[in-house]
Chains A and B, each alone.
Chain A
Amino acid sequence: MATTKRKMTREELILQVIIFSLGFFFAFVYYVRVSEPIDLQAVSQQLFAYLTAMLTAAFAIGMINLTRVHWINIKRKRATWKFSVILIASLYGMAIVSLISSPFALDPQAAVIPQGVINLFNPIFDFLYYKVLVTINSSIFSLLAFFIASAAYRAFKARSLESTILLLAGLLVVIGQAPVADVAWPGFATIRDWILAYPNTAGQRGILIGAALGILAFSVRRMIRYPWGR
């Protein structure tokens, strides 16, 4: 089906020129060092500093948006409003504790916030972070082992030649990675290392190069014409 290209508006054209100029500039300074008459590397560093500020502002917008959505949930007593209360309480509770006592503290040298308050918040942060967050996240991640064990039984079948090769390679790597198998017969580790070093590396390199070329093509396309209005 033939697609008709819409003409860019004046604003879109200006934005397109900015996108192209910045894209070209950063690609250029990555490969070419220019110090005279203008230090282009210094200019790019300055622009990166602005980028950091912009990304931080975007983070703040995300937090405002999240608050807005869940505040409306609570106000209108929607079906999941209780979860929204927990989310907002956790979000702001942890943020306040972290801003007073954590590696992200606003005033770690107690210039404005009294030292007594910081000392009071220290154990609260330690408890919430190390005892609650780390424990919950690690537990959820560890649950994967149960699903993998169950899936190994039900889904990992030698249905075709390709799946049989994949199955054998996977099994040999898992066996080689287990210290007990390595102790029983060092050959398992040699087989694991061979699979990782040769067939795996060949496949991974193909994927990496393919993905890199894809990103390059995508970026050039965006630099030349962004799909405005879609």
Chain B
Amino acid sequence: MNKYKVASDPRMIYVLLALVVTVPILTHSVLPVPISDTTRAVFDYIDKLPANSLVVLSFDYSTSVVPELHPQAIVVTQHVFLRPLKVLFVAQYTDGPALADAVLDAINKGNKTYGVDYATLGYIPNSATVIGMTTNLQQYFPVDTRGTSTNDLPIIREFPAEKMTSLLVSFSAGDPGLLTYLQYWETPYGIPTAAGSPATLAPGYEPFYNSHQIVGILISMRAAAEYELLLTAEYHTPIGLSGATSAMVAQSSSQMLIVAMVIVGNVAYFVGTRRTKGAPK
């Protein structure tokens, strides 16, 4: 095997990538993370919500997207719990309710009481339920995930379906997710909506941000790190709540490795093409 074939061996690239990801994580390297406009927009919107507003957090992702979306869900939920707001947890993915419970276990809930300040309603099986929730919440969610009748929950009595949600945040890994809410909540009722998105889906949500249909987008794990830094600056929460800040060096180095691979690949391609052209026929 010549030296070019060794260099292009995928195993070499895998080893390099493993190194650039694991070394920063093991050495606990940290990096300043500039705040994106899309992240600040979500933070500012939640920060300026009037007291006792209702926020709906929708866990529209499965366990495979946990590395990207779960840190976002943790920091946003912590922010909402630090403010005098009411929160309902729902999910359009079957994994969502368990992931919402994991988020509730990870954050500091302060003096918020279940049923009064927040409640977990569980799984939304289809778009029919998303539509129905806006007119009769109790019909579609007769009980919460703890088996309590929603009629007995003070938060539901305080916010019947006719009283609109002040903000919906969909941590969306695809369909069903943000687009379902845009179609059935934001467009007909004007419910303010924000998105948490993996990096691959964010370009698809960008048109809705530019047309002000969504107040902001949290893009991948980086947005969680940015949000965590904003929370720390504003509310003095400890760094490391979501684990995103400590992963930023690993993420940066892996992205830089991919950029380097593209450049090296193209240089090799052009050198190879020139040699082929210059070779005697």
Contact = CB atoms under 8 A, between A and B. Distances in A.
Given A102-B98, A153-B264, A154-B265, A108 B147 contact: yes
A156 B100 CA distance: 38
Interface residues of B, number: 70
A180 B259 CA distance: 13
A134 B101 CA distance: 14
A103 interface: yes
A183 B31 contact: yes
Interface in A135-153: 137-138, 140-142, 145-146, 148-150, 152-153
Contacts of A25: none
A179 B252 contact: yes
A45 B136 contact: yes
Interface string B7-50: 01010011011000100000000011110110000000000000
Given A45-B132, A177-B220, A196-B206, A149 B146 contact: no
Given A104-B123, A204-B204, A156 B265 contact: yes
B125 A52 contact: yes
Interface string A173-191: 0110111111100100100
Contacts of A152: 258-259, 261-262, 265
Contacts of A88: none
B255 A177 contact: yes
A130 B95 CA distance: 11
Which secondary structure characterizes the binding site on chain B?
Answer: helix
Given A49-B139, A103-B120, A175 B207 contact: no
A137 B14 contact: no
A51 interface: yes
B259 A171 contact: yes
A74 interface: no
Most chain A CB atoms below 10 A, which of B102, B128, B199: B128
Interface of B: 8, 10, 13-14, 16-17, 21, 31-34, 36-37, 62-67, 97-98, 100-102, 120, 122-123, 125-126, 128-129, 131-132, 135-136, 139-140, 145-148, 188, 199, 202-204, 206-207, 210, 219-220, 222, 225, 248-249, 251-259, 261-262, 264-266, 269
